[in-house]
A and B are shown apart, each in its own frame.
Chain A
């Protein structure tokens, strides 16, 4: 497979997942603003979201005020925000168009339909749109594309690259969403263990469409330890760090098997090692070490796996 083809499939997967993450961020923020107001109002929570997605500077430079409208505009529509829903869908569709020959008709169709409808939404006056509708739109179309991929694509190297993109992006996104908690809590440590604290954890579960799953898995109270365990170490949880990483490793193993010894496997080796480290942790040691420190380590590791994927497969020169 052409390296450029592989790269486009990989990034198609990443961007589709990233679009969903942007929608989830909007959802988290939306729910946080429904909190009983603290002294500073909800502004600091929104800021924490932007900080977690690494875009606070770009946002404040352009919009200044943190208002609901500005945030929506920024996270959903803004073409200057490389992680906005519109930009991510557009990039995914563009990647898909470039590698049309590697996609089934059904996948292309799903991508193209999402893009066409998005263009319609863009032209709709903003006051005619509601937040929930926008996040629904995003998750619905992202699911349709993913469904088409799973139902129709050949299980070949192209499939591995797409899903590798999904897996790495999801691992990164869950880690960043969890990190939001860190930024929310940092200035107000006195809230730990309070009702507010538990509400915020619930919000994060909801944003990951995981609150029901959480109750099935753990029952009872939402505590920091349980939520973190669910989102980091629980192998049944579909978006947990360990599940996402496990899937990424699985696809990297698939590529290594397919390509044999002649092709380097640095990405697989690195990913395997990160997975192993994760498997050897329990939630208490992670908290002892510091959640934020742990997440920072994890996000950096995912970054280096992605860089190694690039080196192993996407450059293509000897």
Chain B
């Protein structure tokens, strides 16, 4: 399979990478190793760790950081940006619709079963329209590139996409270690992200809020793997990081417990999944949430970002219909392509997939983090047969996609510099406006030939540059 190398056009170095090429060529080996060690030390000291509990080993694991940035030209980025914003508008229109009249289902464009029997569909919020009609406020859209102008959306994350702290810290560390690179390149900044996020949260304050909205981040607590990110964002936005036990409901509103007594909370950016939000409404055994929160939410006393139920727009079964949503709600042609997807509950698709398993990637509809998937071309016969049995047992739990020729970017590895596969997750913010910062999180598969970039599967991260004109 041929892979698109983002640095080269034939033998020629592409314009955006020209300076980097120089930088790498003149960099002595020992300098690189010294800098790599310095970067790790910085990450460790700042405490940017990915806590993995219950798997043994170091509970404070570092995600490998690659110093070689990934670069986009301005015009490449503008195209992506338009496509992402379009997709974000369509996803929110879809959510507004399926918790309202359900036009898209009535029109026969999406099977009712996929929507209303979806695990993530929350009957509890049907008919509730959150401020400005926004359900998903932070959308992480995973993209891969297969050619110069070929981008595909792999996945939409409409609930609580993580990783934005890496986007910001990677940049911070690159700037600290290689200031000369930034003097020589016109790299668009990303550090306005926390400000934009705060603005977005404030813009969706409930109507009952009369003063400047009090926004908080709700975390499941310090044992959560993304806790660093939660505290990092709270810090940069200057808002409180709260746990469920810090909040309580009284009358029409939600309050937080402070040393000076109760203080009203208007907007909650929750990093807690729906089932844990309110034990009175969802899982009664959960201690993480706030009893009675959902009542206040439904009556407009507090905004929850992203809104409960937003997850119905982002699972792998609904994914196949996003281009349809763009056409249906916006009357536009989708700017970003979906990957061809076979849905195994359809007879024809099932047949095709079962006959071509070794060439395909098969994923669980609700799987995440690179678990529960089969990468056909990278698997042994035995692995394929084992997976075949799983599919036979429950076909509707799976989708399949062709193996994409993921682009590569140059990456520092033990032997020097080598191409490795990457993806990209930009973070789109939806409030009174739809915005995103020029950049995102580039994840890189550090193992040679690997197409799986998830951090839980040995992936690393790198800084993502958008060059200005």
A contact set with B: CB distance below 8 Å: 1-6, 94, 97-98, 100-101, 105, 108-109, 112, 157, 161, 255, 259, 262-263, 313-318
- A138 and B250 CA atoms in complex are apart in Å by 45
Give the residue of B222, B250, B257 whose beta carbon is less than 8 angstroms from that of A2: B257
B22 beta carbon closer than 8 Å to chain A: no
A-side contacts of B245, CB under 8 Å: 4
**B45 & A109 in contact (Cβ 8 Å cutoff):** yes
B235 beta carbon closer than 8 Å to chain A: yes
CB distance from A152 to the nearest CB of B (A): 15
A2-B259, A313-B259 known; 11 new pairs, CB 8 Å cut-off, are A1-B260, A2-B256, A2-B257, A3-B246, A4-B257, A6-B259, A109-B45, A259-B259, A263-B259, A316-B262, A317-B257
A-side contacts of B235, CB under 8 Å: 100-101
Given contacts A3-B246, A4-B243, contact A157 B257 (CB under 8 A): no
CB distance from A261 to the nearest CB of B (A): 11
- A109 and B245 CA atoms in complex are apart in Å by 28
CB distance from A262 to the nearest CB of B (A): 7
**B248 & A317 in contact (Cβ 8 Å cutoff):** yes
Residues B240-297 near A (CB distance < 8 A)? 240-243, 245-246, 248, 250, 255-262
B contact set with A: CB distance below 8 Å: 45-47, 222, 231, 234-235, 240-243, 245-246, 248, 250, 255-262
Given contacts A97-B222, A101-B231, A317-B248, contact A259 B260 (CB under 8 A): yes
A-side contacts of B242, CB under 8 Å: 2, 4
In the complex, 16 of the A-B residue pairs with CB atoms within 8 angstroms, ordered by the A residue number, are A1-B259, A3-B246, A100-B47, A101-B235, A112-B45, A157-B259, A259-B259, A313-B259, A314-B259, A315-B257, A317-B255, A317-B261, A317-B262, A318-B250, A318-B261, A318-B262
- A6 and B255 CA atoms in complex are apart in Å by 17
B-side contacts of A262, CB under 8 Å: 260-261
Given contacts A98-B222, A101-B231, A112-B47, contact A2 B240 (CB under 8 A): yes
**A316 & B231 in contact (Cβ 8 Å cutoff):** no
Given contacts A100-B47, A100-B231, contact A94 B222 (CB under 8 A): yes
- A101 and B234 CA atoms in complex are apart in Å by 8
Q: Would you list the 6 A-B pairs with minimal beta carbon distance, nearest first? A: A316-B257, A3-B257, A313-B259, A101-B235, A6-B259, A1-B259
Give the residue of B241, B250, B261 whose beta carbon is less than 8 angstroms from that of A101: B241
**A1 & B231 in contact (Cβ 8 Å cutoff):** no
A-side contacts of B262, CB under 8 Å: 316-318
B-side contacts of A313, CB under 8 Å: 259
B-side contacts of A105, CB under 8 Å: 46
Chain B residue at minimal CB-CB distance from A1: B259
Chain B residue at minimal CB-CB distance from A8: B222
A-side contacts of B260, CB under 8 Å: 1, 259, 262-263
- A111 and B406 CA atoms in complex are apart in Å by 43
Chain B residue at minimal CB-CB distance from A160: B259
Chain B residue at minimal CB-CB distance from A263: B260
A-side contacts of B241, CB under 8 Å: 101
Q: Kindly name the residue among A4, A94, A314, A318 whose own CB sees the greatest number of chain B CB atoms within 10 A.
A: A4
Give the residue of A108, A317, A318 whose beta carbon is less than 8 angstroms from that of B47: A108
CB distance from B58 to the nearest CB of A (A): 10
A-side contacts of B257, CB under 8 Å: 2-4, 315-317
B-side contacts of A101, CB under 8 Å: 231, 234-235, 241
**B246 & A4 in contact (Cβ 8 Å cutoff):** yes
**A3 & B45 in contact (Cβ 8 Å cutoff):** no
Q: Kindly name the residue among B240, B243, B245, B257 whose own CB sees the greatest number of chain A CB atoms within 10 A.
A: B257
CB distance from B231 to the nearest CB of A (A): 5
CB distance from B156 to the nearest CB of A (A): 30
- A42 and B262 CA atoms in complex are apart in Å by 54
CB distance from B161 to the nearest CB of A (A): 21
CB distance from A116 to the nearest CB of B (A): 9
- A259 and B260 CA atoms in complex are apart in Å by 7
CB distance from A266 to the nearest CB of B (A): 14
CB distance from B215 to the nearest CB of A (A): 14
- A125 and B236 CA atoms in complex are apart in Å by 43
B-side contacts of A259, CB under 8 Å: 259-260
A-side contacts of B231, CB under 8 Å: 100-101
